[in-house]
Structure 1
Amino acid sequence: MPKLKPIRILVVDDHHVVRSGLAASLGLEDDLNVVGEAGNAGEAVTQFRKHHPDVVLMDLRLPGANGTAATADLRREWPDARVLMFTTFDGEEDIYRAMQAGARGYLLKSAAREELLSAIRAVAAGERHLSAALAQRLAGRVAAPDVSDREREVLQLIARGKANKEIAAALGISEETVKRHASNLFVKMGVADRAQATSEGIRRGLIQLE
């Protein structure tokens, strides 16, 4: 019986030690072969163009454009690109946006090695991979009202402790408009004040505190 070709993998992560560790671990499997590594979105596109891997193992947080944007870029140029998000972030907005960008799966770095191997093989076979817990988070996000890009900008500045006047100046809008956006946010997120909005925004992955 002829030996099957190994699954060719591109690892995208901004930490060299993580990329090296993944390459070493995945290399122990006869059917897996890491053919390239990238530390940012631009390198991911370059390496994909060079190697045309079967699966891209993509970190979410990257310098410059994030993993979701990188996934969208890859899928735009290569619609059949198969991307598996591999990250520490489990916010429902992160999951939703990654899947909307075309990712075939979403896996947390806390997952067992066997689950990572299973996820890679599933995505390579054209299947999707999403744990029950993450699928439930995604379902909750799909059912929730959308938070607009402007509302996300307002929320990010609220999280940084900015007053309405400062937010208005930063975004080039009136204080009344800021108040309206904040009020809409509170309703959509089911919160009562700025502290709760910040906490909920971080939990959902709507914002990040640098």
Structure 2
Amino acid sequence: MNQSRIIRIMIADDHPMMREGLRSTLEDERDMKVVAEVANGAEAIEHFGLSDPDVVLMDLQMPRVDGTQAIAAIREQDPQIPIVVLTTYPGDARVTRAMAVGATSYLLKTASSEEIIATIRAAFCGRRHVAPDVLQDVSAHQGMEGLTPRELSVLRLASQGMSNKEIGASLHIAEETVKTRMKSILSKLNAHDRTHAVTIAIHRGFLDT
């Protein structure tokens, strides 16, 4: 990519003030122009082809279609497009999912304006960047076994305060099966009890708040 030309940016975030702040920050830079602002993943997919950005700045938690789904769909349109995730949510599972579907960089919204701008320029030039605090979280859990979809379904219902019997009835499985899955969950997350497991799962990005 040619760094001498203007970097065209699409911002996808469901908070109007966040979009306004990002636009103001980015358009203060001589080499950057915001060509589209969208409020959800569905709009991001629709407007990507219309606005033809060089870099996409993508939140993960958005209505209608979330950021991870939008990243995957945009990547199908253009496998080379740099996508910078800018989100409130850390956690190794979220990072892994986002990078697996095509995100090239991952920042938290606590990042400074300078770091956001530098990351966009790096992405435009084909370089990846993951915020050091995010990378540390990923490294801390590297090699640890993740939760299966069935275990996640149990933990998600447990987070709603359901008992093992209620979870079993909801999932149409035996209560003993629920207990077996919960035992596996506690072991994988190194949790003391189900409440602790839910807390860890939210922090690591297996469950959304």
Structure 1 unaligned regions, length at least 5: none
User: How big is the shift at 1:4?
Assistant: 2.3
Deviates more, 1:15-24 or 1:182-191: 15-24
User: How big is the shift at 1:89?
Assistant: 0.7
- Report the Cα distance in structure 1 between the residues aligned to 2:175 and 2:40, rounded to whole angstroms: 37
Deviation by residue 1:121-154 (Cα, 9 ceiling, x = unmatched): 1111111011222112223344110211121121
Q: 1:96·1:142 contact (CA, 8 Å) conserved in 2?
A: no
- Report the Cα distance in structure 1 between the residues aligned to 2:25 and 2:132, rounded to whole angstroms: 25
Deviation by residue 1:57-79 (Cα, 9 ceiling, x = unmatched): 00010013221111111112321
Equivalent position of 2:172 in the other structure: 172
Asked if 1:40 corresponds to 2:55, the answer is no
Report the TM-score, using the length of structure 2 for normalisation: 0.94
Letter of the structure 1 residue corresponding to residue 169 of structure 2: A
Structure 2 unaligned regions, length at least 5: none
Equivalent position of 1:63 in the other structure: 63
Asked if 1:185 corresponds to 2:182, the answer is no
User: How big is the shift at 1:189?
Assistant: 0.4
Change (3 A) 1:178 1:64: farther
Letter of the structure 2 residue corresponding to residue 12 of structure 1: A
Q: 1:156·1:208 contact (CA, 8 Å) conserved in 2?
A: no
Q: 2:108·2:131 contact (CA, 8 Å) conserved in 1?
A: no
RMSD value over aligned CA atoms?
1.4
- Report the Cα distance in structure 2 between the residues aligned to 1:70 and 1:152, rounded to whole angstroms: 22
SS in 1 for 2:37: strand
- Report the Cα distance in structure 1 between the residues aligned to 2:36 and 2:85, rounded to whole angstroms: 16
- Report the Cα distance in structure 1 between the residues aligned to 2:194 and 2:53, rounded to whole angstroms: 45
User: How big is the shift at 1:105?
Assistant: 0.5
Asked if 1:134 corresponds to 2:134, the answer is yes
User: How big is the shift at 1:81?
Assistant: 1.9
Equivalent position of 2:204 in the other structure: 204
Letter of the structure 2 residue corresponding to residue 130 of structure 1: V
1:98-137 map, 5 Å: 98-137=98-137
User: How big is the shift at 1:15?
Assistant: 1.2
* Paired residues, number: 207
Change (3 A) 1:95 1:73: same
- Report the Cα distance in structure 2 between the residues aligned to 1:25 and 1:180, rounded to whole angstroms: 51
SS in 1 for 2:5: coil
